[in-house]
Amino acid sequence: MYNHRNPLPPLARAGHIAHVKHALASLPGSQVNLDASRMAIVFYCVGSLDLLGVLQDETTEIDRTSWRRWIWEQYAGGRYGTGFKPGPFMTKTSVHSDQESPHLIMTYTALLSLSILRDDFSRLNRPGVLTFVRACQNPNGSFSSMPNNGGDSDLRNLYCAFCICSLLGDWSCIDVERAIAFVASCRTYEGGYGQLPSCEAHGGTTYLALASLRLAPPGPRARLTPAERARSENWLVHNQDASGGFRGRTGKASDTCYCFWGGAALQILGAEDKLDAYAFAQFIAACQFPFGGIAKAPGQGPDPYHTYLSLAAVAMYAPRLEASARRYGQWEFTPFDPLLNARVETVRWAREHIPARRF
Amino acid sequence: MIPAPPPILYAARAEWADIVPVEQYEKANPLAPILYSAEYKDATDYLRAVVKAGEQSARVLQLTEHVIRLNPAHYSAWQYRYETIVALQSPLDVELALMDELADKYLKTYQVWHHRRLLLTLQPTPAAAAAELVFVAKILREDEKNYHTWAHRQWVLAFFNDDALWAGELDFVDAMMNRDVRNNSVWHHRFFVVFHSGVREGEEDRERVVRRELIYVKQNLSLAPNNASAWNYLRGVLEHSRLPFATVAAFVTAYTVPHLADAADLVDVENPPPGPGAELPCAAAVEFLADVYEEAGGESTDKAVQLWKSLADEHDTIRKKYWEYRIREAMSK
């Protein structure tokens, strides 16, 4: 049995910095399955450095300039608007515009990564991005990752579309109410949301659903009834298990990524006081890999995805840690925005620089 | 054992000599570059080339299969393969047979399931749908909680919406439940089949259906009381049917106290008692009973508060803050 009142072990900041810097420099061939989502990996790595507050100290202006340049190299446009691709894996080859298409999730992660790197977004074709987002919406309100029902469609894509509209400050390109109806159709009797209508409640998609409802402009009525809100809150707090970590589904084992999804969902509901922040941090501390990076569970291997989401999870709950934990200065973070999934300061930069200038 | 010989690269094959490979275009300082194997680099050089040329042929099917086996998350290879199958009017049963193997290998990849869905949509026949359910059942036996696989089953049922398909679904749920009564995916699937898929033949009498489901979940709880999935199901059935939680108060109460010494020998189908080995009191039952008291309001609120206190201090301490919040909320009403 865990004893959550034990002192919190140190957060091995230097090891986590080394882990993500190493991934930015190169990934082994065994991780070739990340080829079509490199932009997301870049976001987890650059985002980790941002959360740890070391971007200025641990990287040079030359690094950051060249990283921004790489991200902009993935900027693509075509018949269906402009956005970002995951990487160059299919670049500069196609007569088929579909093969050059931007990707919704990658566009969201690229916009956040560029904000972290304090890009001025002077190159961003805003109407082009809105055209692209519009082209990804399906008749049932959901979004596909690529235009015209291309790629898979589920709540991940809908959330990214909402983030992009929110960052651009323009919702006119999509049918918001239809999208909200799609989100509602993913709700289950447990109080969480599934990836698609009729799917099992899942921590990741519940975060995406609740964040999307909050990001959306106000509608004709409240997005959640008090009873629905209470049920969701209840399901979410029950996902924290005795280890202090969060599981993604009823009856499964805890995983650091669900610490983020579940913890952030509770923040969005304004229920951040209702979980045991100390036990939560204990679980994440136990998932630190001895040589840097954070794994999904104790004793497993680390990766940038779990490293970033673990750091983001503790960043949200650090202010709620007991004084004995603060003694370890490593467990302190600057404010975090659970809706867009970035540091508040980074979100401020994004909101100042991404929308079209109004004259 | 003799190791398998390295594959012959496309660059060295006479039948591909007409294609000029297209290397990945990446300027200096790539971010998070992957150290590709020679085989992957060669295969994708040729994939980029055939896509650029717009070639759709049998050898493109072979090439895309090769790339997919090296990287099943390569969505462009999947997309181009699908377009090529449509253009060539390739036999779908052959493709589905290949997909049976690939889905099995790459269960957790979005693309394998997306591709299956596209294929089934191309030629939606009842026979294909029935075969699909058999395939999914086989995969679920290997990985009983795989999210994509369950999602696919639910999609097949909803998309084809054929009475013959639905007919066997509750038996399938029972078979899966017998393997693991704590598998939440199975409970969720049962809810979907019984309540969210429309009313089918033999299920018109909804009152009878609700009664059947309540007995089903209660009997399950009596065998395994500390099963969060079953408690959630019980709540779900009551809420969906707009029945008060108090409907099952008599059943729940027996799970909130230590074992009764004089446990009745009477078999009460409506209120099966916890089995002899059960760990009692059961935290989920205590929570449920507190909800019953809260629902009743008035003087019963005190009883709810007592139960929440016992959860906060003894039975469910990890959620102490949550139970304290529930107490504050109830007291302020």
- Determine if the peptide bond prior to B30 is cis (ω within 30°): no
Measure in Å the smallest separation between the Cα of B263 and chain A Cα atoms: 29
Rounded CA separation A48/B190 (Å):
41
Q: What is the pLDDT of residues B281-297, one digit of tens each?
A: 999 999 999 999 999 99
Reported as a pLDDT band with limits 50, 70 and 90, residue B1 is: low
Of B147, B192, B318, Cβ closest to residue A279: B318
From chain B, pick out residues whose CB is under 8 angstroms from the CB of A189: 191, 195, 232-233, 235-236, 239-240
Give, in degrees to the nearest 5, the angle at Cα A35 between A257 and B19: 165
Q: Which of B90, B115, B137 is the last residue of a domain?
A: B90
Average pLDDT for B91-106? 94
Per-residue confidence (pLDDT) for residue B237, from 0 to 100: 98
Partner-chain contact A249 B183, CB within 8 Å:
no
Average pLDDT for B8-35? 92
Q: Which of B39, B72, B90 is the last residue of a domain?
A: B90
* Angle formed by the axes of helices B110-122 and B92-105, nearest 10°: 160
Measure in Å the smallest separation between the Cα of B186 and chain A Cα atoms: 9
Per-residue confidence (pLDDT) for residue A204, from 0 to 100: 98
Q: Is the pLDDT of residue A38 over 50?
A: yes
Longest dimension (CA), chain A: 61
CB contacts under 8 A, A 101-140 vs B, are none
Distance separating the N- and C-terminal Cα atoms of chain A: 61
C-alpha gyration radius of chain A:
20
Helix intervals (H) in chain A = 13-25, 38-51, 55-58, 61-73, 104-116, 126-136, 155-168, 176-185, 203-215, 226-238, 256-268, 277-286, 304-317, 323-326, 344-353
Rounded CA separation A81/A134 (Å):
9
Per-residue confidence (pLDDT) for residue B219, from 0 to 100: 96
**A interface test, pick of B76, B79, B83, B84 with most A CB neighbours within 10 Å:** B76
B166: in domain:
no
Q: Indicate which residue of B27, B52, B105, B108 is catalytic.
A: B108
**Is A97 part of the contact surface with chain B (CB cutoff 8 Å)?**
no
Reported as a pLDDT band with limits 50, 70 and 90, residue A151 is: confident
B43: in domain:
yes
B117: in domain:
no
Rounded CA separation B32/A24 (Å):
4
Which residues are A337's β-sheet partners? A342
B134: in domain:
no
Q: Considering the entire predicted model, what is its pTM?
A: 0.96
Reported as a pLDDT band with limits 50, 70 and 90, residue A91 is: low
CATH code at position B285: 1.25.40.120
Average pLDDT for B222-232? 97
Per-residue confidence (pLDDT) for residue A1, from 0 to 100: 40
Q: Which of A94-98, A240-244, B5-9, B267-271 has the highest mean pLDDT?
A: A240-244
Tokens in use for A225? 């009834």
Average pLDDT for B197-223? 90
Which range has the worst mean pLDDT, A13-27, A47-61, A96-110, B242-256? A96-110
Contact A238, A192 (CB under 8 A): no
B188: in domain:
no
Residue B166 φ then ψ, to 5°: -65, -30
Partner-chain contact A189 B236, CB within 8 Å:
yes
Rounded CA separation A25/A110 (Å):
18
Of B73, B182, B239, Cβ closest to residue A33: B73
Arithmetic mean of pLDDT over chain B: 93
Residue A83 φ then ψ, to 5°: 180, -160
> Considering its fold, how many domains does chain B have in total?
2
**B interface test, pick of A30, A31, A33 with most B CB neighbours within 10 Å:** A33
For residue B278, give its domain range. Answer: 210-333
B323: in domain:
yes
Per-residue confidence (pLDDT) for residue B186, from 0 to 100: 98
Q: What is the pLDDT of residues B259-278, one digit of tens each?
A: 765 555 667 878 999 988 88
Q: Is the pLDDT of residue A154 over 50?
A: yes
CB contacts under 8 A, A 267-296 vs B, are 273-276, 279
Q: Is the pLDDT of residue A94 over 50?
A: no
Average pLDDT for B237-251? 96
B12: in domain:
yes
From chain A, pick out residues whose CB is under 8 angstroms from the CB of B187: 250
Rounded CA separation A95/A77 (Å):
13
Residue B325 CB neighbours (<10 A):
18
Any catalytic annotation for residue B333? no
Q: Is the pLDDT of residue A117 over 50?
A: yes
Rounded CA separation A9/A15 (Å):
14
Partner-chain contact A93 B320, CB within 8 Å:
no
B190: in domain:
no
**3-class SS at A288?**
strand
Measure in Å the smallest separation between the Cα of A38 and chain B Cα atoms: 7
Of B28, B34, B320, Cβ closest to residue A34: B34
Per-residue confidence (pLDDT) for residue A115, from 0 to 100: 98
Of A33, A88, A276, Cβ closest to residue B72: A33
Which range has the worst mean pLDDT, A86-100, A266-280, B195-209, B257-271? A86-100
Q: Is the pLDDT of residue A7 over 70?
A: yes
CATH of domain A13-353: 1.50.10.20
